[in-house]
Structure 1
Amino acid sequence: MPEIASTLRVLPPSPWTARPGARTAWRCEPAPAEVRAFHATLPDYAPTPLTELPALAAELEVGRVFVKDESARLGLPAFKALGASWAVHRILAERAAGARPGPVTLVTATDGNHGRAVARVARLLGQRAHVFVPRGVHPRAVSAITAERAKVTEVPGPYDEAVRLAAEAAREADAVLVQDTAWPGYERIPGWIVEGYSTLCAEIDEQLTAAGAVAGPGLVAVPVGVGSLAQAVVTHYRSRPRAQAPALLAVEPQAAACVLESLTRDAPVSITTGETSMAGLNCGTPSSIAWPHLRNGLDAAVAVSDADAARAAARLAGLGVSSGPCGAAGLAGSRAALIGPGSGPRRTALGIGPSSVVVLLSTEGADANPHSAHVTAG
């Protein structure tokens, strides 16, 4: 896999960056409407809950807080099946139109959830799956992938190395790479995966309206790895009228804040990542197709520690929401932005006041990506 930029170094402490004017200066085309219609045809489809948590609204000093709970999506404990199912649907339809019958091997690299989703879709559709996992992925996460009858190759290097090896393996006959990150020359299938995530945003619109928050959110906090989900969120909210545009906050681990570093430099860079309990966010290079959306559409990015994420997960659990460290990153980042040290200027940059509506995307359940870090809630 080619690197987006030549920079490769350990990320220095850089917890926050703001992008003034993102809500008003840039717009894009919306995701295809047929994505939601496709998901509605799937046997296990149902909108995931959007849970209002008044206790968090009081804590964050805002009007209302809603958590989009992705702990049970299409039979899996994370949102990733939305993108995998739409992309595989498009791949198989294209192969059928090209008179290429017979099973295909779907190849991917993963920190856990995406690979499990690809393996699940492959099994249900009678296809094969080969999943590459980087170092640090918990054995239980690997077992969950093998339980879907997928071949698993464990890689001694980081996520980016697993992606490179998966791309090499997919060059074999009757194999297709289904990766949720893009680079020059490999962008169409990652684009389909991003389109698949749009269903999550469409559900939020409907659920906020049903809850009486008809004006929509004032802030959406999204956990970020390579940026594919964030790209979907940016696409959704930056394709609507400026008056309806919320602030968008990206949240990453301090050990793997490649998007924050790229935004700080105003250019996409690759970084050396460290160990983190937020395994699904442990990525060192932004997706090439996500980067323009992130650069132009995000209002801010913040990096949080493993301890911050663990405390946020414990807080959500106490309020009845199952969330792993990746999913809880949105709450951890919102705490840092809205009530942490220096929060006054940060709230101003995000346009957040005491009556604002905040939506936190909890992208996985507590058991989606097992990890070894345990921190007492505080």
Structure 2
Amino acid sequence: MPDNASTFRTLPWSARPGARNWRCEPAPTDVRDFHASLPDYAPTPLAELPLLAGELGVARVFVKDESCRLGLPAFKALGASWAVHRILADRAASGEGAGPVTLVTATDGNHGRAVARMARLLGQRAHVFVPQGVHPQAASAIAAEQAQVTRVAGPYDEAVRLAAEASAAADSVLVQDTAWPGYERIPGWIVEGYSTLCAEIDEQLTAAGAAAGPGLVAVPVGVGSLAQAVVTHYRSRPSGRAPALLSVEPEAAACVLESLPLGAPVSITTGVTTMAGLNCGTPSSIAWPYLRDGLDAAVAITDSDAAHAAARLADLGVSSGPCGAAALAGLRAVLTGVGADERRTMLGLDPSSVVVLLSTEGPAANPHSTPGPGTSC
């Protein structure tokens, strides 16, 4: 359970009434078919946790367990595989070079490893820039995919800048999971790749007797690409009850939470956090309009909150790292302490509600376990 200090502190929180009425265009329908054609593809589990539902005061809680996705310990392989597929198809169609291309990216860990894995499997090269704060064993896991790894003496945003510069070399392509003006097409493909995760949830909820869908979805946020995919999925439906969407960030890197009250994206100086994959200081430019208009609320949590949530999930049989457990930690923070009743009402939660938590990575995404190339999670 959360420690007493977190119960009485002022909660970093922002809410936007009316987000459930906003609508956008859906993701492409061919993404799921592409993933289903991959040899290692299988839907990740959607685990129902009745004890957690009782603790949170709702009817049902489901956790989307991304601890083993396409042989890697995080969801990032969905976006990387689709984007690399689109990049290579475009190059073939345009007649750009028959030889291998270098896929360049910056990463806090999981995205870079996914790009490196795709490069190795497809006979391409990879060059991955890793910022400070990423454990050496995480960088070693990327290098084990036969990628060139460059350690950066600076934060994530600096690693992104250096990766973009390196991608200007001949036969190199930047495969970054954040966007900025002038660089948006490939990050858009990465977001599209994440739509498969949401499609799986629909099918799994139907199979579990919850075809009406969730009342709330909680999603961990770094630059906001996964959250963009989640917003796109749930805000593109023409009818039916739209769920509340809650973003969760580390207090040390809450760029979306800082941006929402201002109505414009801001860059912040990030601190140190065990939630390394969420340690990002600037929202993605293509994600921002979706986050601004489609999120019901945002919350920031401490490393202690994430650790307690990961331990509780482990007790219930779900393997999750600090980033993956952030969804549970964020919802716990929202539903406890001063103002909890008002926040619950704002999110539309009651004893009949169905909640989905996205556990975006397993413990193997962290330095305690680093399976080598070609191994399963």
- Coarse TM-score class (shorter-chain normalised): over 0.9
Match of 2:40? Answer: 44
In the TM superposition, what is the alpha-carbon distance from 1:14 to its structure 2 partner?
A: 6.4
Q: Which amino acid in 1 is paired with 2:358? A: L
Match of 1:58? Answer: 54
Q: Which amino acid in 2 is paired with 1:104? A: V
SS of the residue corresponding to residue 244 of structure 1 reads coil
Match of 1:301? Answer: 298
The answer to whether the Cα contact below 8 Å between 1:113 and 1:369 also exists between their aligned partners in 2 is: no
In the TM superposition, what is the alpha-carbon distance from 1:243 to its structure 2 partner?
A: 2.8
- Matches for 1:1-378 after TM superposition, within 5 Å: 15-24=12-21, 26-100=22-96, 101-370=98-367
SS of the residue corresponding to residue 367 of structure 1 reads helix
Distance 2:99 2:114 in 1: 21
The answer to whether the Cα contact below 8 Å between 2:11 and 2:333 also exists between their aligned partners in 1 is: no
Distance 2:230 2:53 in 1: 22
SS of the residue corresponding to residue 299 of structure 2 reads strand
Distance 2:335 2:229 in 1: 24
In the TM superposition, what is the alpha-carbon distance from 1:170 to its structure 2 partner?
A: 0.2
In the TM superposition, what is the alpha-carbon distance from 1:366 to its structure 2 partner?
A: 1.1
Match of 1:7? Answer: none
SS of the residue corresponding to residue 182 of structure 2 reads coil
The answer to whether the Cα contact below 8 Å between 1:60 and 1:339 also exists between their aligned partners in 2 is: no
SS of the residue corresponding to residue 48 of structure 1 reads coil
In the TM superposition, what is the alpha-carbon distance from 1:313 to its structure 2 partner?
A: 0.3
Deviation per residue, 1:315-345 (Å, 9 max, x gap): 0011110000000000000101123432111
Distance 2:230 2:239 in 1: 15
Deviation per residue, 1:333-361 (Å, 9 max, x gap): 01011234321110111111111000000
The answer to whether the Cα contact below 8 Å between 2:19 and 2:294 also exists between their aligned partners in 1 is: yes
- Which aligned segments of 4 or more residues in structure 1 are displaced greater than 3 angstroms? none
In the TM superposition, what is the alpha-carbon distance from 1:102 to its structure 2 partner?
A: 1.1
Distance 2:367 2:76 in 1: 16
Distance 2:107 2:328 in 1: 24
In the TM superposition, what is the alpha-carbon distance from 1:288 to its structure 2 partner?
A: 0.1
The answer to whether the Cα contact below 8 Å between 1:201 and 1:236 also exists between their aligned partners in 2 is: yes
Distance 1:161 1:205 in 2: 37
In the TM superposition, what is the alpha-carbon distance from 1:266 to its structure 2 partner?
A: 1.3
Number of residue pairs matched? Answer: 359
Distance 1:340 1:180 in 2: 35
266-275 or 237-246, which deviates more:
237-246
Q: Which amino acid in 2 is paired with 1:187? A: E
In the TM superposition, what is the alpha-carbon distance from 1:242 to its structure 2 partner?
A: 4.6
In the TM superposition, what is the alpha-carbon distance from 1:265 to its structure 2 partner?
A: 1.3
Q: Which amino acid in 1 is paired with 2:16? A: R
The answer to whether the Cα contact below 8 Å between 1:223 and 1:329 also exists between their aligned partners in 2 is: yes
Distance 2:234 2:282 in 1: 24
Distance 2:239 2:158 in 1: 40
How high is the TM-score relative to the length of structure 1?
A: 0.94
* Structure 1 alignment gaps of length 5 or more: 1-12, 372-378
Counting aligned pairs with the same residue, the percent is: 82
The answer to whether the Cα contact below 8 Å between 1:324 and 1:365 also exists between their aligned partners in 2 is: yes
